[in-house]
């Protein structure tokens, strides 16, 4: 039998107790990992395994790098090790990777274990998974930044974004706008039908607002029935910005003024909208919001359901634009639109036809030229209605001209907008109009702009061939100012190119214009196309064009655009003059008709 002294027995008991305490402590809820001095794992607890998804065999003996997330760069880890070596510990938040590949955040504390010689023998890492904590923080931030009812950004988040947007606008030197929207008489409606219906209406308002703006723009709820829209990076032109923002504001006004359904109630509301433009950060967020608020109250004072700009000059422009568009919507019904006809002649000055040019005679504004109202029509669907009216009116005139020997051979050119050309039923519509008026298709020529090529080249070519199959002619208007002319010219079934008047006007004093016109004529000749020059106003221009073998001409030199009676009188006079000239040269010659 061996005997152990009392001191030895006590020491052994103390060691056993320390080991038991250590084992219990090691199996805490905190994840624990012990590595050697070279960061190779020697021991982990159950909490570590539960957190990381690894088994002991998969990590023991492996370097801790197997858990790196890849989200931290080398300098991060260099700083960590520098602090560990210098102080013996490091504490902080870090992203690591579980066995399944999921990256998660954790709070980590690493402590160096040293021997009696103060040499590091091990490292003990204790950490907590912060995933749920971060998720809760994000939810709290979301509650602090978003409106609970509509899920839109709230005032706090809007102001934060607006501040960042102003800094961006300063860098880009671009204009943007904020639109402050207040629902008219919402309190009365809310008290009448109940707060539940009122809440549903506010949710629907939020949805409609989001559908009225771009994805990059911010729609926020400031509180109660007040919303605000932040529109970024509109244009570097103030006038262009005011026009575009005015269109968006009107779109919002129309959308929010439509009826709302709530249970058995049909609700009606309308917005008052105040607009404030910004460029850069010359004015603060608070001042710009105040400007929009002032404009919104002006809209309220004007009778509600309206839009007002803070800048009175811009407001006048937007108001004038809106008034003109409103009048334009009534122009056809009020029979204010008319077609004028400008003569087209060949190289012998014989009339070959005319171009139908649209004129708007407003009872108060007087004559409104296409350059003013066509862009407004193009911005909406009005151009389709107007284009259809022009086509019908032109074909009706061709049918009348077919009854006269002097006019039956005239060709009538009609301008077609890119939007009109793009509609799926355009070819069928033209065919129906030709049939309705019993017009010889060869007497009709459609003038297309180069912009029709922008969307779908293959579809454009197919549609042009379908139009050619009807028997009518095709011309490219304003040739030379558009897009990739040479690349598509050989693919299109064209009959004619029209040289833009801006080039024609410069051919006698601008060498580059003269060269360009000569090139277009040569190009048309090589492609076996007719070429006509518009805007011919002087004899010198005509001489140049004839010298370079331009085939047809149009411009004030041969007559301005005229109503039908005056055009026909001009035509009769030209034919009579030509007849007299031919008779003087060749007695007994029969009078010519228009070609």
Average pLDDT, 10 consecutive residues per value, the chain (595 residues)? 48 51 65 91 92 93 92 89 90 93 92 88 91 76 82 92 91 93 88 86 95 94 94 92 93 94 85 93 88 91 89 73 89 95 94 96 93 89 94 97 93 94 94 96 93 77 94 87 61 90 87 87 89 94 94 95 95 82 52 50
Domain final residue, candidates 293, 328, 363: 328
Longest dimension (CA), the chain: 160
Residue 130 placed within a domain: yes
Residue 223, domain extent: 146-328
Regarding whether 86 and 48 lie in a shared domain, the answer is: yes
Q: What is the pLDDT of residue 337?
A: 96
Q: List the CATH number of the domain containing 432.
A: 3.20.20.450
Between CA 556 and CA 345 the distance in angstroms is 12
**Token pair listed for 369:** 């030229």
Residues 6+ apart with CB under 8 A from 396: 437
Q: What is the pLDDT of residue 594?
A: 55
- Are the C-beta atoms of residues 579 and 557 closer than 8 Å to each other? no
Instruction: Give the SS3 label for residue 232.
Output: strand
pTM over cut 0.85:
no
Instruction: Give the SS3 label for residue 38.
Output: coil
**CA dist 357 to 30, 71, 206, 290, Å?**
84, 66, 45, 47
Q: What is the pLDDT of residue 18?
A: 47
- Are the C-beta atoms of residues 407 and 568 closer than 8 Å to each other? yes
Count other C-beta atoms under 10 Å from residue 143's C-beta.
11
Between CA 524 and CA 531 the distance in angstroms is 6
Please give the DSSP secondary-structure letter assigned to residue 146.
B
Q: What is the pLDDT of residue 581?
A: 61
Residue 5 placed within a domain: no
Name the residue among 139, 262, 242 with its Cα closest to residue 200: 262
- Helix (H) / strand (E) containing 70: none
Regarding whether 46 and 154 lie in a shared domain, the answer is: no
Residue 562 placed within a domain: yes
Regarding whether 36 and 153 lie in a shared domain, the answer is: no
Q: List the CATH number of the domain containing 182.
A: 3.30.70.270
Residue 552 placed within a domain: yes
Question: Which residue in the block uniquely carries the two structure tokens 């309206």?
Answer: 306
Name the residue among 331, 245, 230 with its Cα closest to residue 289: 230
Residue 16 placed within a domain: no
Between CA 572 and CA 261 the distance in angstroms is 65
Residues 6+ apart with CB under 8 A from 133: none
Taking CB atoms within 8 Å and a gap of at least 24, the contacts of 95-99 are 95/69, 95/71, 96/52, 96/67, 96/68, 96/69, 97/67, 97/68, 97/69, 97/70, 98/51, 98/52, 98/53, 99/52, 99/53, 99/54, 99/58
- Are the C-beta atoms of residues 423 and 384 closer than 8 Å to each other? yes
Q: What is the pLDDT of residue 17?
A: 54
Regarding whether 321 and 192 lie in a shared domain, the answer is: yes
Domain final residue, candidates 328, 354, 378: 328
Regarding whether 129 and 172 lie in a shared domain, the answer is: no
Domain final residue, candidates 328, 356, 374: 328
User: Left, alpha or beta for 32 (phi > 0: left; psi -120 to 50: alpha)?
Assistant: beta
Backbone phi and psi for residue 449, each to the nearest 5 degrees, phi listed first:
-85, 160
Q: What angle do CA 445, 448, 454 make, to 5 degrees?
A: 155
Residue 19 placed within a domain: no
Regarding whether 449 and 352 lie in a shared domain, the answer is: yes
- Bridge partners (DSSP) listed for residue 146: 153
Residue 18 placed within a domain: no
> 397: exposed, middle or buried (C-beta count within 10 Å: 0-12, 13-18, 19+)?
buried
Residue 34 placed within a domain: yes
**Token pair listed for 251:** 């779109």
Strand ranges (DSSP E) for 2-130?
A: 31-36, 41-44, 89-97, 103-114, 120-129
Name the residue among 421, 439, 400, 406 with its Cα closest to residue 476: 421
Q: List the CATH number of the domain containing 59.
A: 3.30.450.20
Regarding whether 475 and 446 lie in a shared domain, the answer is: yes
Regarding whether 442 and 311 lie in a shared domain, the answer is: no
Regarding whether 373 and 234 lie in a shared domain, the answer is: no
DSSP 540-578: HHHHHHHHTT--EEESTTT---B-HHHHHHHHHHHHHHH
Regarding whether 337 and 324 lie in a shared domain, the answer is: no
DSSP 520-531: HHHHHHHTT-EE
Three-state secondary structure string covering 497-510: EEECHHHHCCCCCC
| Mutual angle of helices 238-257 and 195-212, in 10-degree steps | 140
- Are the C-beta atoms of residues 161 and 216 closer than 8 Å to each other? no
Taking CB atoms within 8 Å and a gap of at least 24, the contacts of 232-237 are 232/165, 232/168, 232/169, 232/176, 233/168, 233/169, 233/172, 233/174, 233/176, 234/174, 234/175, 234/176, 234/177, 235/174, 235/175, 236/173, 236/174, 236/175, 237/175
Backbone phi and psi for residue 321, each to the nearest 5 degrees, phi listed first:
-65, -45
Regarding whether 128 and 83 lie in a shared domain, the answer is: yes
User: Left, alpha or beta for 37 (phi > 0: left; psi -120 to 50: alpha)?
Assistant: alpha
Domains: count for the chain: 3
Q: Name the CA radius of gyration of the chain, rounded.
A: 40
Instruction: Give the SS3 label for residue 252.
Output: helix
Regarding whether 128 and 95 lie in a shared domain, the answer is: yes
């Amino acid at each position: 039998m061996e005997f152990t002294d009392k001191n030895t027995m006590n020491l052994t008991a103390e060691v056993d107790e320390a080991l038991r305490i250590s084992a219990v402590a090691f199996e805490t809820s905190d994840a624990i990992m012990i590595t050697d001095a070279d960061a190779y794992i020697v021991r982990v607890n159950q909490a570590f395994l539960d957190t990381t998804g690894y088994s002991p065999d998969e990590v023991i003996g492996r370097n801790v790098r197997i858990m790196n997330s890849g989200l931290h760069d080398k300098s991060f880890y260099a700083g960590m090790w520098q602090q560990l070596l210098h102080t013996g510990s490091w504490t902080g938040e870090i992203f690591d990777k579980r066995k399944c590949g999921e990256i998660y955040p954790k709070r980590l504390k690493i402590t160096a274990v040293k021997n009696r010689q103060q040499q590091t023998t091990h490292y003990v890492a204790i950490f907590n998974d912060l995933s749920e904590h971060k998720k809760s923080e994000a939810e709290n931030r979301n509650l602090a930044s978003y409106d609970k009812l509509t899920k839109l950004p709230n005032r706090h988040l809007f102001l934060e974004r607006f501040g960042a947007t102003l800094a961006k606008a300063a860098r880009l030197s671009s204009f943007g706008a904020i639109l402050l929207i207040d629902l008219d008489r919402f309190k009365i409606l809310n008290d009448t039908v109940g707060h539940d219906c009122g809440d549903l209406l506010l949710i629907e308002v939020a949805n409609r607002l989001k559908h009225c703006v771009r994805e990059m723009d911010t729609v926020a709820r400031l509180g109660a029935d007040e919303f605000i829209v932040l529109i970024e990076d509109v244009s570097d032109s103030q006038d262009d910005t005011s026009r575009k923002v005015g269109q968006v504001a009107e779109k919002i006004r129309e959308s929010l003024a439509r009826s709302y359904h709530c249970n058995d109630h049909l609700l009606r509301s309308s917005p008052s909208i105040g607009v404030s433009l910004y460029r850069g950060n010359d004015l603060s967020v608070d001042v710009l919001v105040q400007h929009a608020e002032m404009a919104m109250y002006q809209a309220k004072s004007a009778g509600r359901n309206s839009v007002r700009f803070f800048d009175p000059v811009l407001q006048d422009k937007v108001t004038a634009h809106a008034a003109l568009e409103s009048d334009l919507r009534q122009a056809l019904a009020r029979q204010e639109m008319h077609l004028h006809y400008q003569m087209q002649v060949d190289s012998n000055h014989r009339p070959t036809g005319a171009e139908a040019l649209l004129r708007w005679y407003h009872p108060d504004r007087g004559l409104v030229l296409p350059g003013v109202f066509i862009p407004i029509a193009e911005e909406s669907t009005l151009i389709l209605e107007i284009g259809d009216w022009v086509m019908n009116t032109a074909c009706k005139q061709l049918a009348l001209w077919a009854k006269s020997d002097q006019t039956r051979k005239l060709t009538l050119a009609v301008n077609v907008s890119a939007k009109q050309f793009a509609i799926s039923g355009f070819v069928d519509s033209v065919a129906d109009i030709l049939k309705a008026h019993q017009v010889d298709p060869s007497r009709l020529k459609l003038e297309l702009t180069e912009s029709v090529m922008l969307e779908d080249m293959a579809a454009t070519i197919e549609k042009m061939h379908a139009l050619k199959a009807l028997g009518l002619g095709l011309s490219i208007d304003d040739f030379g100012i558009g897009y990739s002319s040479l690349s598509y010219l050989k693919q299109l079934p064209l009959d004619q190119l029209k040289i833009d008047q801006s080039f024609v006007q410069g051919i006698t004093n601008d060498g580059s214009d003269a060269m360009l016109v000569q090139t277009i004529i040569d190009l048309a000749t090589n492609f076996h196309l007719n070429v006509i020059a518009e805007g011919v106003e002087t004899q010198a221009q005509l001489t140049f064009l004839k010298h370079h073998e331009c085939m047809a001409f149009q411009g004030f030199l041969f007559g301005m655009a005229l109503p039908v009676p005056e055009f026909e009188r001009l035509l009769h006079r030209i034919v009579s003059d030509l007849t007299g000239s031919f008779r003087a040269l060749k007695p007994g010659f029969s009078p010519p008709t228009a070609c």
